[in-house]
């Protein structure tokens, strides 16, 4: 089961009237709703060519409420499918409130009727807390959501211009790197002291009592802190 440190991220490239509108990046709460997240992730990657969000429409937009899409079979909000073979049960409903914009939740026709349809909130929707599984949130693409929310719609809340998920997939995540560290090492430094040469260099006379002293060999060590580089972190899109 994934932890919050390595939650998967997927992307949805949206087109409006066949023109690119931008990319939505969604982080999946795979540690809270693993079955739901795996369904969404697989539909984004299109590992099964017949089960994919690619070229499916955003069929419903209600400003200050939500945008809805994911009908991969009919495209009008009456269909849908899943990697589990049809509908699957609700998962961990209520683990968090639907209390902010940008949450990605499963759309359904009632209890335990999840498939592929989803919606993204444009505002807090507390009245949906006990009805829908929240399984992700938008981490990039707020401008895209704002543009979609402003599109004209008909009396059935369908956008008057075609809105499609033109491409989608999973972003490659890299594990978080440890914080920068230092390595302490000790370097030996040999040091020889000859009092007679030292006095001569300073222009002073060596006392008779010191003239018979042989040069002294000292072994000193110095502690040095060396910074260790951190591995690169972040994410990158899959190869095109």
DSSP 125-172: -GGGTTTS-EEEEEEE-HHHHHHHHTS-B-TTS-BSS-EEEEEEEEEE
Phi, psi at 35, each rounded to 5° = -70, -45
Model pLDDT, residue 222: 60
Going along the chain from its start, the domains and CATH numbers come out as 4-173 (2.40.100.10), 181-228 (no CATH)
Model pLDDT, residue 176: 59
Model pLDDT, residue 41: 98
Model pLDDT, residue 204: 74
Full-model pTM: 0.73
What is the token pair recorded at 165? 């998920």
Alpha helices in 20-71 (DSSP H): 34-45
SS3 call for 71: coil
Model pLDDT, residue 225: 61
Model pLDDT, residue 239: 47
DSSP 8-state symbol, 18: T
Model pLDDT, residue 6: 87
Give catalytic residues, as residue numbers: 60, 65, 68, 108, 119, 128, 132
Q: For residues 208 and 186, what is the distance between their CA atoms, to the nearest angstrom?
A: 38
Cα–Cα–Cα angle for 159, 162, 167, nearest 5°?
120
Q: Exposed (0-12), middle (13-18) or buried (19+): which is 65, by Cβ within 10 Å?
A: middle
Q: Which residues of the chain have pLDDT under 50?
A: 1-2, 230-233, 239-240
SS3 call for 215: coil
């Amino acid at each position: 089961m994934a932890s919050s440190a390595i939650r998967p991220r997927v992307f949805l490239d949206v087109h409006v009237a066949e023109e690119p509108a931008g990319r939505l990046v969604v982080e999946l709460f795979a540690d809270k709703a693993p079955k739901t997240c795996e369904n969404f992730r697989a539909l984004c990657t299109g590992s099964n060519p017949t089960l994919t969000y690619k070229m499916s429409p955003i069929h419903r937009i209600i400003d200050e409420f939500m945008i809805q899409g994911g009908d991969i079979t009919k495209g009008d909000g009456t269909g849908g499918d899943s990697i589990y073979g049809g509908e699957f049960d609700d998962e961990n409903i209520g683990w968090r409130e639907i209390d902010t914009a940008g949450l990605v939740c499963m759309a359904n026709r009632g209890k335990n009727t999840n498939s592929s349809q989803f919606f993204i909130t444009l505002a807090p929707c507390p009245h949906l807390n006990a009805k829908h599984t929240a399984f992700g949130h938008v981490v990039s693409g707020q401008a895209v959501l704002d543009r979609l929310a402003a599109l004209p719609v008909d009396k059935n809340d369908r956008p008057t211009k075609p809105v499609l998920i033109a491409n989608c997939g999973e972003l490659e995540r890299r594990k978080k790197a440890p914080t920068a560290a230092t390595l302490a090492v000790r370097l030996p430094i040999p040091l020889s002291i000859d009092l007679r040469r030292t006095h001569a260099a300073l222009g002073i006379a060596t006392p008779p009592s010191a003239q018979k002293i042989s040069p002294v060999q000292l072994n000193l060590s110095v502690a040095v802190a060396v910074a260790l580089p951190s591995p690169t972190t972040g994410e990158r899109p899959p190869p095109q």
